[in-house]
Chain A
Amino acid sequence: MSALGKVVRAGVGRRRVQSLVMVLTTMMAVTASVMATALVVASQAPFDHTFAKQHGAQLAAAFDSGRASREQVAATAHAHGVTAASGPFLLLSLAVRPQPPEGMPAPPVDPVLSLAGRAQAAGPVDDLTVVSGHWPTGPGQIVVTDGWGPPDVLGSTLHLPGVQGDPALTVVGTARSATSTADAWVTPAQAAALTRPGSTPSYQMLYRFGTAGSTAAMTANRAAVSAAAPAGSLQGSQSYLVVRAAAVRQTATFVPFVVALGVLGLVMSVLIIGIVVSGAVSAGTRRIGILKSVGFTPLQVARAYVGQALIPASVGTVLGIVLGNLAAVPLLAQAEGAYQSGTLAVAGWIDVAVPAAVLALVVASALVPALRAGRLRTVEALAIGRTPQVGRGRWAARLAGRLPLPRAFSMGLAGPFARPARSAMIAAAIVFGAVGVTFAYGLGASLNGVQRGLNLDMPGQVGVDPFPSQAGAPGGKPAAPSRLADPAAVARVIAEQPGTKGYFSSVFTDVHFLGVSDAVTAVAYRGDSSWGAYQMVSGRWFTRPGEAVVGHRFLQATGTHVGDWTTLDGDGRSTRVRIVGEALTTGDGGMRVLTDAGTLERAGISVRTATFSIELKPGTDRDRYVAALNKALDPVGASARASQGQISATVVAIDAITAFLTLMLVLVAGLGVLNTVVLDTRERVHDLGVLKALGMAPRQTVGMVITSVAGIGALAGLVGVPLGIALHDVIVPRMGDAAGTRIPPVDMAVYHAPQLVPLAFGGLLIAVLGALLPATWAARTRTATALRTE
Chain B
Amino acid sequence: MTAPIIDIRDVSKRYDDGPPALAGLTLSVEKGEALAVLGPSGSGKSTLLNMIAGLDRPTEGSVTVAGARVDRMSETASARFRRERIGMVFQFFNLLDDLTVLDNVLIPAQLSGVGRAEARDRAAELLDNLDIARHARAYPGRLSGGERQRVAVARALMNRPALLLADEPTGALDSASGAEVRELLAELNADGQTILLVTHDLALAGSCATRTIELVDGRIARDEHAVAR
Contacts and interface: CB of A to CB of B under 8 A. Distances in A.
A692 interface: yes
B5 to A, nearest CB: 18
Nearest to A790: B92
Contact of B94 (A390, A697, A787): A787
A394 B141 CA distance: 13
Interface residues of B, number: 38
A700 B55 contact: no
B87 to A, nearest CB: 9
Given A393-B98, A408-B111, A787-B90, A694 B83 contact: yes
Contacts of A690: 94-96
A784 B83 contact: no
Contact of B99 (A397, A406, A689, A788): A397
A691 B103 CA distance: 13
B16 to A, nearest CB: 12
A696 B83 CA distance: 7
A779 B84 CA distance: 19
Contacts of A787: 55, 90, 94
Contacts of A699: 76
A697 B110 CA distance: 12
A697 B98 contact: no
Interface string B188-224: 0000000000000000000000000000000000000
Given A394-B139, A694-B111, A695-B112, A401 B103 contact: yes
A398 B96 CA distance: 13
A417 B56 CA distance: 33
A67 interface: no
A606 interface: no
Taking chain A's interface residues, is the majority helix, strand, or loop, or is none over half, making it mixed?
A: helix
Highest count of chain A CB atoms <10 Å: which of B99, B100, B111:
B111
Contacts of B90: 693, 787
A700 to B, nearest CB: 7
Interface in B55-108: 55-56, 75-76, 79-84, 86, 88, 90-92, 94-100, 103, 106-108
A696 B100 contact: no
A693 B94 contact: yes
Contacts of B111: 407-408, 691, 694-697, 700
A687 interface: yes
Contacts of B98: 390-394, 397, 414, 418
Contact of A694 (B46, B81, B82): B82
B36 interface: no
A330 to B, nearest CB: 50
B173 interface: no
Given A398-B100, A787-B90, A390 B141 contact: yes
Contacts of B159: 695
A783 B112 contact: no
B113 to A, nearest CB: 7
Interface string A756-790: 00000000000000000000000110111001101
B56 A782 contact: yes
A722 interface: no
B182 interface: no
B155 interface: yes
A149 B88 CA distance: 92
A691 to B, nearest CB: 7
A695 B55 contact: no
Contacts of A545: none
B80 A784 contact: no
A229 B157 CA distance: 102
B96 A695 contact: no
Nearest to A696: B111
Contacts of B91: 790
A499 interface: no
B88 A693 contact: yes
Highest count of chain A CB atoms <10 Å: which of B46, B55, B155:
B55
A693 B55 contact: yes
Contacts of B50: 783-784
A698 interface: yes
B53 interface: yes
Nearest to B95: A690
A729 B90 CA distance: 60
B88 A697 contact: no
A695 B80 contact: yes
Nearest to A788: B46
A448 B126 CA distance: 67
A787 B94 CA distance: 9
B96 A687 contact: yes
A453 B83 CA distance: 65
A683 B139 CA distance: 20
B55 to A, nearest CB: 4
Nearest to B152: A690
Contacts of B139: 391, 394
Interface string A676-711: 000000000011011111111111100000000000
A225 B159 CA distance: 95
A697 B141 contact: no
Contacts of A408: 111
Contact of A390 (B80, B97, B112): B97
Interface in B1-59: 46-47, 50, 53, 55-56
Highest count of chain A CB atoms <10 Å: which of B53, B84, B100, B107:
B107
Contact of B75 (A406, A687, A697): A697
A787 to B, nearest CB: 7
A695 B83 contact: yes
A694 B88 contact: yes
Contacts of A782: 56
B113 A406 contact: yes
Nearest to B77: A697
A699 B80 CA distance: 11
A698 B56 contact: no
Highest count of chain B CB atoms <10 Å: which of A779, A780, A788, A790:
A790
Contacts of A414: 98
A695 B108 CA distance: 7
A483 to B, nearest CB: 85
A280 to B, nearest CB: 23
Nearest to A404: B116
A784 B81 CA distance: 16
Contact of B79 (A407, A689, A698, A788): A698
A784 B88 contact: no
B108 A694 contact: yes
10 closest residue pairs by CB, A with B = A695-B83, A407-B110, A697-B79, A695-B82, A690-B94, A784-B56, A783-B55, A784-B50, A697-B76, A784-B55
Given A391-B141, A784-B55, 12 more contacts: A391-B98, A397-B99, A397-B103, A418-B98, A691-B107, A696-B79, A696-B111, A697-B75, A699-B76, A782-B56, A783-B50, A783-B56
Interface of B: 46-47, 50, 53, 55-56, 75-76, 79-84, 86, 88, 90-92, 94-100, 103, 106-108, 110-113, 139, 141, 155, 159
23 contacts: A391-B98, A391-B141, A401-B99, A408-B111, A686-B94, A690-B94, A690-B95, A693-B55, A693-B94, A694-B107, A694-B108, A694-B111, A694-B155, A696-B79, A697-B80, A699-B76, A782-B56, A783-B50, A784-B50, A784-B55, A784-B56, A787-B90, A790-B91
